A and B are shown apart, each in its own frame.
Chain A
Amino acid sequence: MASVYIPVQNSEEEVGVALDQLPRDASDILDILKAEQAPLDLWLIIAREYFKQGKIDQFRQILEEGSSPEIDDYYADVRYERIAILNALGAYYSYLGKIETKQREKEEHFILATQYYNKASRIDMHEPSTWVGKGQLLLAKGEVDQASAAFKIVLDGDHDNVPALLGQACVEFNRGRYTDSLDLYKRALQVYPNCPAAVRLGIGLCRYKLGQFEKAQQAFERVLQLDPENVEALVALAIMDLRTNEATGIRKGMVKMQRAFEIYPYCAMALNYLANHFFFTGQHFLVEQLTETALAVTNHGPTKSHSYYNLARSYHSKGDYDKAGVYYMASVKEVNKPHEFVFPYYGLGQVQIKLGDFKSALSNFEKVLEVYPDNCETLKALGHIYVQLGQTDKGQDFIRKATKIDPRDAQAFLELGELLILSDTGAALDTFKTARTLFKKGGQEVPIELLNNIGVLQFERGEFELAQQTFKEALGDGIWVSFINEEKKPSIDVATSTLQFKDMQLFHDLESNGQHVEVPWDKVTVLFNLARLLEQLNESGTGSILYRLILFKYPDYIDAYLRLAAIAKARNNILLSIELVNDALKVNDKCPNALSMLGELELKNDDWVKAKETLRAASDATDGKDSYATLSLGNWNYFAAVRNEKRNPKLEATHLEKSKELYTRVLIQHSSNLYAANGAAVVLAEKGHFDVSKDVFTQVQEAASGSVFVQMPDVWINLAHVYFAQGNFTLAVKMYQNCLRKFYYNTDSQILLYLARTHYEAEQWQDCIKTLLRAIHLAPSNYTLRFDAGVAMQKFSASTLQKAKRTADEVRATVAELQNAVRVFSQLSAASNLHIHGFDEKKIDTHVGYCNHLLSAAKVHLEAAEREEQQVRQRQELARQVALAEEARRKAEEQRKFQMERRKQEDELKRVQQQEEHFKRVKEQWKSSTHSKRRERSDDEEGGTGEKKRRKGGKRRKKDKHSKSRYDTEEPENDMMDEQEMEDEETDINYREEPQTLTNDEAEENAQGLLAAAGLEDSDADEDAAAPSSSIARRRQALSESDDDEPLQRQSSLVRENSADMQLSDGEIRDGDKTNGDDASD
Chain B
Amino acid sequence: MKLGGIKSVENAHDDSVWAVTWVPATANRPSLLLTGSLDETVRLWRSDDLVLDRTNTGHCLGVASVAAHPLGSIAASSSLDSFVRVFDVDSNATIATLEAPPSEVWQMRFDPKGAILAVAGGGSASVKLWDTSTWEIIATLSIPRPEGPKPTDKSGSKKFVLSVAWSPDGKRLACGSMDGTISVFDVPRAKFLHHLEGHFMPVRSLVYSPYDPRLLFTASDDGNVHMYDAEGKALIGTMSGHASWVLCVDVSPDGAAIATGSSDRSVRLWDLSMRASVQTMSNHSDQVWGVAFRPPGGSDVRGGRLASVSDDKSISLYDYS
The residue of chain B having its C-beta at the shortest distance from the C-beta of A747 within the complex is B263
For A495, give its contact among B162, B201, B238 (CB under 8 Å). B238
| Cα(A913)–Cα(B275), bound, Å | 87
A783 adjacent to B245 (CB under 8 Å) = no
Contact call A831/B102, Cβ cutoff below 8 A: yes
Tell me, yes or no, whether A573 is within 8 Å of chain B by CB: yes
Interface string of A824-858 (1 = CB under 8 A from B): 10110011011111100000000000000000000
Contacts of B221 in A (CB 8 A): 747
Segment among B58-66, B67-75, B111-119 that sits at the interface with chain A: B58-66
Evaluate contact between A835 and B156: CB separation under 8 angstroms: yes
- Expressed in whole angstroms, the Cα–Cα distance for A820 and B59 within the complex equals 11
Instruction: Please tell me if the beta carbons of B60 and A745 are within 8 angstroms of each other in the complex.
Output: no
- Do A834 and B123 form a contact, CB below 8 Å, given A745-B245, A747-B245, A780-B106? yes
Provide the residues of chain B in CB contact with A146, threshold 8 Å.
none
How far is A621 from B104 in the complex, measured between Cα atoms in Å?
51
B319 at the interface (CB under 8 A from A): no
The residue on A at minimum CB distance from B242 is A538
| A770 interface neighbour in B38, B102, B160, B243, Cβ under 8 Å | B38
B178:A781 contact, CB within 8 angstroms = yes
- Given the known inter-chain contacts A571-B201, A572-B222, please indicate yes or no for A496 contacting B236, CB distance below 8 A: yes
Please determine whether A820 and B81 come into contact, CB atoms closer than 8 angstroms.
yes
Task: Give the complex CA separation of A496 and B241 in angstroms.
Answer: 17
Q: What separation, in Å, do the CA atoms of A747 and B223 have in the docked complex?
A: 12
Shortest Cβ gap from B140 to chain A (Å): 13
Q: Are A835 and B263 in contact (CB under 8 A)?
A: no
Q: From residue 761 to 814 of chain A, which have CB atoms closer than 8 A to chain B?
A: 770, 773-774, 776-777, 780-781, 783, 789
Known: A541-B240, A572-B180, A774-B16. A827 touches B287 (CB 8 A): no
B157 close to chain A: CB less than 8 A: yes
Q: Is there an interface contact between B178 and A745, defined as CB atoms closer than 8 Å?
A: no
Q: Does A499 contact B (CB under 8 A)?
A: yes
From B80, B154, B180, B245, residue with most partner A Cβ within 10 Å: B80
Given that A539-B240, A572-B222, A745-B243 are contacting pairs, would A777 and B80 also be in contact in the complex, using a CB cutoff of 8 Å?
yes
Partner of B199, one of A571, A574, A789: A571
A750 at the interface (CB under 8 A from B): no
Q: Mark B240-255 against chain A: 1 for CB-CB distance below 8 A, else 0.
A: 1111110000000000
Q: B265 an interface residue at 8 Å Cβ cutoff? A: yes
B124 within 8 A of A: yes
Chain A interface size range:
35 or more
Residue of A nearest to B222 (CB): A571
Q: Which residues of A contact B153 (CB under 8 A)?
A: 835-836, 838
Candidates A574, A745, A827; contact of B104 at CB < 8 Å = A827
Task: Tell me which residues across on chain B come within 8 A of A572, comparing CB atoms.
Answer: 180, 200-201, 222
- Contact check, B236 vs A781: say whether CB atoms are below 8 A apart: no
Bound-state Cα–Cα, A178 to B90, Å: 117
- Which residues in chain A, 99-119, are within 8 Å of chain B measured between CB atoms? none
Name the distance in Å between A541's Cβ and chain B's nearest Cβ.
5
- Cα distance A541–B222 when bound, in Å? 12
Q: How far is the CA of A606 from the CA of B150 in the complex (A)?
A: 14
Which residues of chain B from 200 to 232 have a CB within 8 Å of any chain A CB? 200-201, 221-224, 227
B15 at the interface (CB under 8 A from A): yes
B102: contacting residue among A819, A824, A830, CB under 8 A? A830
Query: What residue of chain A has the Cβ atom nearest to residue B311's Cβ?
Result: A746
If the complex has contacts A773-B38, A776-B80, are A745 and B265 also in contact, measured as CB distance less than 8 A? yes
A495-B275, A498-B238, A831-B102 given as contacts; is B123 within 8 A of A781 (CB)? yes
Q: For the complex, what is the distance from the CA of A745 to the CA of B245, rounded to whole Å? A: 9
Q: Which residues in chain A, 496-547, are within 8 Å of chain B measured between CB atoms?
A: 496, 498-499, 538-542
The distance in angstroms between the C-alpha atoms of A542 and B122, with both chains bound, is 34
Is B222 a contact of A827 with CB atoms below 8 Å?
no
Task: Tell me the smallest distance from the CB of A1082 to a CB of chain B, in Å.
Answer: 41
Residues of chain B within 8 A (CB-CB) of A777 are 18, 38, 62, 64, 80
Q: For residue B223, which residues in chain A have a CB less than 8 angstroms away from its CB?
A: 538, 540, 570
Interface of B is mostly: loop
Tell me, yes or no, whether A823 is within 8 Å of chain B by CB: yes
Interchain CA distance A823-B101 in the complex, whole Å: 11
Contact present for B200 and A830 (CB under 8 Å): no
The answer, yes or no, to whether A255 is at the interface (CB within 8 Å) is: no
Residue among B61, B106, B221, B287 with max Cβ neighbours from chain A (10 Å): B61
Complex Cα–Cα for A824 and B83 (A) = 12
B39 to nearest A CB, angstroms? 9
Task: Please determine whether A823 and B81 come into contact, CB atoms closer than 8 angstroms.
Answer: yes
A983: Cβ under 8 A from any B Cβ: no
Contact residues in A for B123 (Cβ distance below 8 Å): 781, 783, 831, 834-835
Q: How far is the CA of A826 from the CA of B102 in the complex (A)?
A: 9
A-side contacts of B124, CB under 8 Å: 834
Q: In the complex, what's the smallest C-beta–C-beta distance from B150 to chain A, in angstroms?
A: 11
Closest beta carbon of chain A to B6's beta carbon, Å: 26
Say whether B1 faces chain A, with CB atoms less than 8 Å apart: no
Question: Smallest CB–CB gap between B86 and chain A, Å?
Answer: 19
Residues 73-123 (chain B) with a chain A CB within 8 angstroms: 80-82, 101-102, 104, 106, 122-123
Judge whether B139 is part of the interface by a CB distance below 8 angstroms. no
Bitwise, B181-206 to A at CB < 8 A (1) or not (0) is 00000000000000000111100000
Judging by beta carbons under 8 Å apart, are A495 and B237 in contact?
A: yes
Separation of A777 and B204 alpha carbons in the complex (Å): 11
Separation of A1 and B168 alpha carbons in the complex (Å): 125
Q: Which one, B60, B157, B234, B287, contacts A747 given CB within 8 A?
A: B287
CB pair B104–A486 under 8 Å, yes or no, is no
A826 to B18, CA, bound (A): 25
Q: A493 vs B236: C-alpha distance in the bound complex, in angstroms?
A: 9
A976 interface residue (CB < 8 Å to B): no
Bound-state Cα–Cα, A747 to B311, Å: 11
CA distance A747 to B287 in the complex (A): 8
A816 CB-CB contact with B under 8 Å = yes
Q: Which of A486, A570, A572 has the most CB of B within 10 A?
A: A572
Using Cβ atoms and an 8 Å threshold, which residues of chain A touch B274? 486
Is there an interface contact between B240 and A781, defined as CB atoms closer than 8 Å? no
Least CB distance from B312 to A in Å reads 10
- Smallest Cβ-Cβ distance to A828: which chain B residue: B102
State the Cβ distance, B110 to closest chain A Cβ, in Å. Answer: 21
Contacts of A770 in B (CB 8 A): 15, 38
Complex CA–CA separation, A770 to B235 (angstroms): 38
Chain B minimum-CB-distance residue to A824: B81
Contact B287 A745 (CB under 8 A): yes
Which residues of B sit under 8 angstroms from A837, Cβ to Cβ? 157
Taking CB atoms, residues of chain A closer than 8 Å to B262 are 745
Task: Please name all residues of chain B whose beta carbon is closer than 8 Å to the beta carbon of A486 when the two chains form the complex.
Answer: 274-276
Chain B residue contacts of A540, Cβ below 8 A: 223-224, 240
Say if the beta carbon of B286 comes within 8 Å of chain A: yes
Contacts of A539 in B (CB 8 A): 240-241
Chain A residues with Cβ under 8 A from B198's Cβ?
499
- CB pair B61–A781 under 8 Å, yes or no, is no
- Which residues of B are found within 8 Å of A830, using beta-carbon distances? 101-102
**Chain B residue nearest in CB terms to A786:** B80
The 0/1 profile, CB within 8 Å of A marked 1, for residues 153-187 of chain B is 11011101010000000000000001010000000
What residues of B have a CB within 8 angstroms of the CB of A606 in the complex? 154
Q: Does B131 contact A (CB under 8 A)?
A: no
- Interface residue? B28 (CB, 8 A): no
- The answer to whether A827 touches B238 (Cβ under 8 A) is no
Nearest-neighbour CB distance to chain B for A445, whole angstroms, equals 32
Partner of B244, one of A541, A747, A826: A747
For the complex, what is the distance from the CA of A906 to the CA of B131, rounded to whole Å? 77
Q: Assess A835 versus B242: contact at CB under 8 Å? Given A495-B275, A745-B264.
A: no
**6 tightest Cβ-Cβ pairs between the two chains A and B:** A830-B102, A572-B200, A781-B160, A495-B237, A745-B263, A745-B244
The interface of chain B, by Cβ under 8 A from chain A, is: 15-16, 18, 38, 60-62, 64, 80-82, 101-102, 104, 106, 122-124, 152-154, 156-158, 160, 162, 178, 180, 198-201, 221-224, 227, 234-238, 240-245, 262-265, 274-276, 286-287, 311
Can you identify 5 A-B contacts, CB atoms within 8 angstroms? A498-B238, A541-B224, A542-B240, A747-B287, A783-B123
